[in-house]
Structure 1
Amino acid sequence: MNTNSSEEEMRAALFGVGNGNPQKHTQRSPRSPANAESKYLGAKIRVALHVRNEYEGAFEVVSYESSSLSWLVVEMDARKKYKKKYKYTEVVSVERI
């Protein structure tokens, strides 16, 4: 087995033999509508939290929105943001909007 292959040989083995200069696709295909891309880029996640300073006291309902793709990251960011002001935070719901 040859372990001293050049980058071009590895690319040719993986992707097939080509001209070596991949051209970027800058034009939209006529089949994909423009609003489908904007819908995907505009997706957000909303987290609803119950926050309070007393353990069994009255709570406030707050919401946090982010355009991240990970529900876990958005949930952790929301908890981190409201932990500064409130002592207790409880996640009620996480939904994509």
Structure 2
Amino acid sequence: MNADLTEEEMRRALFGTAERESQVPAVPVQEPVPEVVFARPVAAPVAKKKVAKAFTQRLKVTLRVGNVFEGETYELIHEADTLSSLLAEQEAVKAARKKYKYVEVVSVKSM
């Protein structure tokens, strides 16, 4: 190995020749692209098909409701689309509380 390298030779070995630095590649000029507007074709509205719902089990919740404590009560029936009797009961009580002050659950039955 040659240990007597000059500084210029070392620079060329590490960084390459100085000629490459002077040659800068020209940037290609892009031609302006004409503006094109895409319009969607007007199509007649398509009627959406109704998907038939699968049969879901419903629960019938029977409530005894009233607005007077130990007064006149009415029987109210609420139908819930759930399998959980607890959720059906909570849903029925929540709906009945909007109109009545006193709500008592009588039964929860499957339909």
TM-score (norm 1): 0.57
Greater relative contact order structure (CA < 8 Å, 6+ sep): 1
Q: Match for residue 81 of structure 1?
A: 95
**Alignment partner of 1:48 is 2:62:** yes
Cα distance in 2 for partners of 1:71, 1:44 equals 10
Runs of 4+ in 1 over 4 A off after TM superposition: none
Aligned length: 58
Where structure 1 has 5 or more consecutive residues not aligned to the other structure, the ranges are 1-37
Whichever residue aligns with residue 58 of structure 2, its letter is K
Matched letter for residue 52 of structure 1? G
For normalisation by structure 2, the TM-score amounts to 0.50
**Bigger CA radius of gyration:** 2
Please state which structure has a larger fraction of its residues in helix: 1
Per-residue CA shift, 1:3-54, capped at 9, x if unaligned?
A: xxxxxxxxxxxxxxxxxxxxxxxxxxxxxxxxxxx6xx33210000000001
Work out the percentage of aligned pairs sharing the same amino acid: 40
Shift of the alpha carbon at 1:80?
0.3
Give structure 2 stretches of 5+ with no counterpart. Answer: 1-53
Separation of aligned partners in 1, 2:103 and 2:77: 12
Structure 2: distance between partners of 1:76 and 1:42: 19
Aligned to 1:72: 86
User: Which residue number in structure 2 is paired with residue 93 of structure 1?
Assistant: 107
